[in-house]
A and B are shown apart, each in its own frame.
Chain A
Amino acid sequence: MNDRTAANDGWFAGLDPDDVAGASTAIREGRADTPADWPALAVESGFAADADEYYDRLHEATVAAAREQVQERERADDRQLVHAIRAMDDSRRTANELAERVAEWAGSRYDDADTGVEYARELAADSPDEEDEPLDPGAERLHALATRTADLADEADELERFVETAAHDVAPNLAAMAGPVLAARLISLAGGLDDLAKMPSSTVQVLGAEDALFAHLRGNAPSPKHGVIYTHEYVRGTSGGERGSAARAVAGKLTIAARVDHYSGERRSDLDAELDERIRTIRQRGDDE
C-alpha cells in the first residue's frame, strides 16, 4: 500500500503516463470510497490528452494488472488454503472462548452485561475515555481484553474471505460445488488436494466423522452416513431416509470435482448440473414414498 489510500484519488494520481508497471500497481493496490468522473479528471490533470487516450491507457493498465494477479493467484497452493482454514477455525473458537470470559467478567461489573462476541465488540467500542475519567485497573484490562476479542473475531472473518478467494483459485470446481469453506475443509481433512483427489468417494463421504467410523469398524455402532459434507445444503436439506443417498451422491460428485481440479484445473460447470439433477431425483423419490 502507498500513501494515497486515505485520499479519494483516481488510479492515475501522481503517475507518469508511460509507466505501465506503476499503473498496474496503482490499479491493483489503489482504493477509493466513491467513484468519480475519472476520465474527465485525468484529462484535467494532464494524464491523458482526451478521453480516448485515457481509455487506451486504462485498458493497458487493467489488462496488465489482471494478468499479473492471475499469474500470482494461480500459484496459490493448497497448503496455504489448509493453513488458512485451520487458522480460521482456531481464531473463531478462541474468540468465542474469550468472549465468554469477557461476558463473565463484565457481568461482575455492569448490570447490562450481555454475552457473545457481539457484546465484546460493544464493550471494545465504548471504552471510556481515559482523559475524562481514569479507569480502575480492572476495567482497563477488561476493555483491553474485549478489544483483543473483537480483533480476533475480525481476523476470523478476514481469514474466511481469504479462504473464499483461495479456494476458488486452488480448486474451482470443488469450491463451486461445495462452497469455498467446505471445499477448504475437505482439502484440509484429506491433507491436500492431491490426497483428496486420490481418495475413493466413500472415504470423502465420511471425512470428518472418523470417530464414528472407527466405532463402526470396531463393531459397536452403525456406519456414519456423512462427515463434514453434512454442512452441504444438499445433504442437510434432504430429509430422513434419503439423506444417506444424498450424502453418497454429493460425495461422489465432490470427489470427481476434486479430481478434475487436481489433474486438469479446467472449470466444468456441467458437473454442478449433474449433481443438481441427481439430488432432485433423490428428493422426489423421498417425497413419493
Chain B
Amino acid sequence: MTLPEGVERRGFDGTERLATRGEPVYGEPTDGEWRAWNPHRSKLGAMLELGLDTGLVGGENVLYLGAAAGTTVSHVADFAGPTYAVEFAARPMRDLLDAAESRPRLFPLLADARSPEEYAHVVEPVDVIVQDVATRGQATVATTNARFLREDGRLLMAVKARSEDVTRDPAAVFADALEELRGTYEILDSERLTPYHDDHLGVVARPLSEP
C-alpha cells in the first residue's frame, strides 16, 4: 500500500513516523515544515500505519465527520484538497478553528452529522468521507451521509464499539455495524485498530452502484 501524496514517513528523534506538512496543531513534534502524525491520537493515522488500503492519493475533496478538535482533520487538510470538517460540540470547535486559521481549504462546520440537511447546502459531492463520530448509531451516520459520496468515492470509517454498547462483545458490535453498512456500501477492507486504539474497527468501503 502506498501513502497518499503529501504524507511521508520521516525520522523524528530516530523513529520513523507518519508526517504531513503544515502548521502544528496539538503540540506534535516537527521537523522543518513537517509535523508528526500520531496514530495513537488519530484513527485515520492508525489505518494508514496499519496498512489498510484507503485508496487515498492526495488532493481529493474530503468530508470529515466528527472532526473534534482537529487533530486528524488538520493532517487531512495538509495532504487533501478542500476539506469540510463537521463537528457538533462547541468546545472542540474552538481548537478546530485555530487549525482552520492557517489552512484556507479547511472549512469548519458546527453541525450534527446525523442531520446532513444542516450542511448539504455547503458541502459539495466528495471523493472521500472520513468518519470518526462517537455516538450510538455510527453505521446510520455513514449511510445517511452516503449522499455526499461520489460514485467511485471511499468511506474511511472508525467504528468505536464502546459508543454503541460497552457491555457487548466488540466483535458483535462490529458485525452489526458492517451488516448495516452493507445496505449502502460495499466493504473493501476492515481491520481492528489495535494496538493504537482498543475496540475500534477501521473500515474502508465504497458506495454500492445504483441497480
A interface residues (Cβ-Cβ under 8 A, vs B): 8-11, 26-27, 30-39, 55-56, 58-59, 62-63, 65-67, 69-70, 73-74, 76, 161, 165, 168-169, 172, 176, 233-234, 236-237, 265, 267, 276
Q: Are A56 and B104 in contact (CB under 8 A)?
A: yes
B148 contacts the other chain (CB 8 A): yes
* A145 CA / B107 CA spacing, docked (Å): 46
B interface residues (Cβ-Cβ under 8 A, vs A): 69, 82, 88-94, 96-97, 100-101, 104-110, 112, 117-118, 120-125, 134, 147-148, 162, 165-167
* A30 CA / B115 CA spacing, docked (Å): 13
Per DSSP, are chain A's interface residues mostly helix, strand or loop, or mixed? helix
Q: Are B91 and A265 in contact (CB under 8 A)?
A: yes
Q: Are B147 and A35 in contact (CB under 8 A)?
A: yes
Q: Are B97 and A63 in contact (CB under 8 A)?
A: yes
Complex partner residue of B107 from A35, A62, A172, CB under 8 angstroms: A62
* A237 CA / B104 CA spacing, docked (Å): 46
A-B contact count (CB 8 A): 108
* 4 closest residue pairs by CB, A with B: A237-B167, A73-B90, A32-B121, A30-B121
Assess A63 versus B89: contact at CB under 8 Å? Given A11-B121, A37-B124, A237-B166: no
Complex partner residue of A69 from B110, B121, B166, CB under 8 angstroms: B110
Give min CB distance, A18 to chain B, whole Å. Answer: 18
Q: Are B90 and A267 in contact (CB under 8 A)?
A: no
Give min CB distance, A252 to chain B, whole Å. Answer: 18
Closest to B118 in A: A31
Q: Are A31 and B121 in contact (CB under 8 A)?
A: yes
Q: Are A39 and B124 in contact (CB under 8 A)?
A: yes
Residues of chain B within 8 A of A32, CB atoms compared: 117, 120-121
Q: Are B82 and A66 in contact (CB under 8 A)?
A: no
Give min CB distance, A61 to chain B, whole Å. Answer: 9
Q: List 5 A-B contacts (CB under 8 A).
A: A55-B104, A63-B100, A66-B108, A67-B97, A168-B91
Assess A36 versus B124: contact at CB under 8 Å? Given A65-B110, A69-B90, A172-B91: yes
Closest to A176 in B: B134
